Every structure is written in C-alpha cells, then in structure tokens.
C-alpha cells in the first residue's frame, strides 16, 4: 500500500508533466504560425526610432510612421540625425 506522501508526489509529478507538455506544444505551435501580412500602404505602422538634432541636441522618439523607414524629421531647419540603439 503506497503512503499518502507517495500519492501526493505522484499527483504533483503528473501535474508538472501536464504543464510542461502543454507549454512545449504551445511553443511548437507558435513557431509554425505564419506572420501576419504587412498593413496596406499609407496605414500607420509601429516603429521605434530615435533622432537627435545636431544643432541644439533635442532628442525625439518616433513610434508610428506610414513606412518602416521614414524620412528624418526636421528641427532647427535641418534634418535630424538617426541615433544608434544602445545594446
């Protein structure tokens, strides 16, 4: 006759196995899904680009634009410089 603690450990092992199994299949399923199509031309896209004015030093972050690579904004009557991301 198994003890009560052995039954608890067995149930805990089955629960942990089910969680790991579902997580593993979820990861595999997410890798097989196709990427969504890009939005139509003219629709706003999410981006994360930072610019700096080389005259006065003002920095801005652009988060929405109609293109993946938008033209730089103007400040102090000149185009702003693209800042490299710090990694």
Q: What is the pLDDT of residue 82?
A: 87
pLDDT digits (tens, 9 = 90+) for 70-80: 888 899 988 99
Cα angle for residues 2, 3, 9 (degrees, 5° grid): 95
- Of 21 and 49, the structure prediction assigns the larger pLDDT to 21
- Of 25 and 85, the structure prediction assigns the larger pLDDT to 25
pLDDT digits (tens, 9 = 90+) for 33-55: 888 787 777 788 888 889 999 89
Rounded mean pLDDT of 20-30?
93
Cα angle for residues 21, 32, 41 (degrees, 5° grid): 140
Q: What is the pLDDT of residue 85?
A: 62
Contacts for 53 with CB less than 8 Å, ≥ 6 apart: 59, 75, 76, 78, 80, 81
């Amino acid at each position: 006759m198994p003890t009560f603690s052995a039954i608890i450990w067995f149930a805990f092992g089955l629960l942990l196995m089910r969680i790991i199994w579902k997580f593993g299949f979820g990861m595999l399923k997410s890798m097989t899904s196709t990427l969504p199509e890009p939005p139509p031309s003219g629709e706003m896209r999410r981006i994360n680009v930072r610019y700096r004015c080389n005259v006065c030093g003002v920095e801005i972050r652009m988060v929405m634009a109609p293109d993946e690579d938008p033209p730089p904004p103007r400040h102090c009557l000149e185009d702003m410089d693209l800042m490299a991301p710090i990694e």
